[in-house]
Structure 1
Amino acid sequence: MAGSNVAKSAQGRGRTRARDEVLLDRELEELPQDLRWREWMLRVEAVIFASAEPVARETLARVVGRDCSIDLLIDDLQEELRSRPYELVYVAGGWQHRTRPRYADTIRASSVPARSVASALSETEAMVLMAVGYFQPVTRAELSKIFGKEISRDTISALRGAGFIASGPRSPTAGAPYTYVTTKHFLSAYGFETLRDLPDIEALEDAGLLSRRVDDVEGEPLEETGEIPDEQIEPTDEPDLT
């Protein structure tokens, strides 16, 4: 019965998606070329503006014509926003609206609630997140060795609840504890396209912001997305065995 319900639900979503695609005139063939391009620009910007996460090229392609160049549309939008206090940036595999860095002090002075939850992290949570970013996949025990004190389950839970980290593959060490890795949301919140955009770790160590306490924490940054493939991520309700 459950399988039947799942199948029906999937069919329903498929019909809804197909209906939406039919109702949306993507090609706009009745419009002159300049007006068609303008409408595509506005559609793309509307989708990016409405999304809480970076929007991938494949998603934007659903609202424009088949022969429309997403890259050229983005170029035109970025040029149009050049004099505005916000811009379109490419982070975590998609495009997102971001306030220009020069207005950061103005926004802080206004005390308005920021959209990014990164600003809500405690100092400890932010430091642990930074360590996960550099040393992933890393266990809680290894994080504790890095900081020279126990990293609590509450800290890990807070970072997972905020969507910044997820369970990685089990460690080959005794007990096979779960490791932790960063997510695409981590890249998005901090404005990174990939983990290669992280600041140089040696510079952070020289500044005393991060210290490698153990020789066996050698997790290498994941090169493209900042997260491990879905099939390798363990369920989030698994017990912490560290």
Structure 2
Amino acid sequence: MYDRELEDLPPDLRWREWMLRVEAVIFASAEPVTRETLARVVGKYCSIDLLIDDLREELRDRPYELVVVAGGWQHRTRPRFAETIRASAAPTRGGAAALSEFEAMVLMAVGYFQPVTRSDLSKVFGKEVSRDTISALRGAGFLASGPRSPTPGAPYTYVTNRHFLSAFGMETLRDLPDIEALEDAGLLNRAAVREERISAEAEGEEE
């Protein structure tokens, strides 16, 4: 049986062991680690938040830190070392796959309007969003299928997932950039999607 409680250890050593366990799990994981996962390796009444606080304090002078992304904790290199890592040309793990500028904008649009169809996305940008673009984003692991749209033909909709949040360093979708700024720059058209959905709902009521 795995000993979570460590009752044979004095309190200070028990706490230290729990800290090391939590850090080991987060370090080894390819995805953000949830509270539920960490609870499996520490005592029943152990405060995971306090453990994380102590770990963050220990890492204060290190080039990496513990951050909250996609509903869990993950080790991330501090932003000020990004240029150094790029200059080294060393292979890195995780992060966002390389996307074209248009693919990145389509991905952000899905984040704002999900669940959204490919037709909706085409209206957002005023030009067709191809199946190849959607396939590339799905292949990179950023998109999943949402519910079928209520519009005629019941086309597929698309939604973002935890990998999307993790790769772009967001805790929730509320961390997306300000949509008004993107609209002011002419990069997104929120009204087009809203009008399309109102029209589709009206057609459904008529039927």
Alpha-carbon separation, structure 1, partners of 2:31 and 2:195: 31
Q: Is the 8 A contact 2:66 2:73 kept in 1?
A: yes
User: Compared with structure 1, are the counterparts of its residues 217 and 134 closer, same or farther at alpha carbon in structure 2 (3 Å cutoff)?
Assistant: farther
TM-score normalised according to structure 1 size: 0.76
Q: Is the 8 A contact 2:95 2:167 kept in 1?
A: yes
| 1:85 shift after superposition | 0.9
Unaligned runs of 5+ in 1: 1-21, 220-242
Alpha-carbon separation, structure 2, partners of 1:165 and 1:217: 24
Question: What's the counterpart of residue 16 of structure 2?
Answer: 38
Listed one character per residue, the Cα deviations across residues 72-117 of structure 1 (whole Å, up to 9, x for unaligned) are 1000001110111111011111111111111122222222233235
Please state whether the residue corresponding to 2:61 is helix, strand or coil: coil
Question: What's the counterpart of residue 134 of structure 2?
Answer: 156
Question: What's the counterpart of residue 57 of structure 1?
Answer: 35
Question: What's the counterpart of residue 182 of structure 2?
Answer: 204
Spell out the pairing of 1:1-242 with structure 2 (5 A cutoff). 22=1, 24-212=2-190, 214-216=192-194
Q: Is the 8 A contact 1:92 1:192 kept in 2?
A: yes
Instruction: Please tell me the root mean square deviation across aligned C-alpha atoms, in Å.
Output: 1.8
Question: What's the counterpart of residue 239 of structure 1?
Answer: none
Paired positions, count = 197
Please state whether the residue corresponding to 2:194 is helix, strand or coil: coil
Q: Is the 8 A contact 2:27 2:75 kept in 1?
A: yes
Alpha-carbon separation, structure 1, partners of 2:195 and 2:78: 36
Alpha-carbon separation, structure 1, partners of 2:55 and 2:140: 31
Alpha-carbon separation, structure 2, partners of 1:208 and 1:111: 35
Identity in percent: 82
Question: What's the counterpart of residue 201 of structure 2?
Answer: none
| 1:209 shift after superposition | 4.0
Q: Is the 8 A contact 1:135 1:217 kept in 2?
A: no
User: Compared with structure 1, are the counterparts of its residues 207 and 114 closer, same or farther at alpha carbon in structure 2 (3 Å cutoff)?
Assistant: farther
Structure 1 segments of 4+ aligned residues over 4 angstroms from their partners = none
Letter matched to residue 29 of structure 2: S
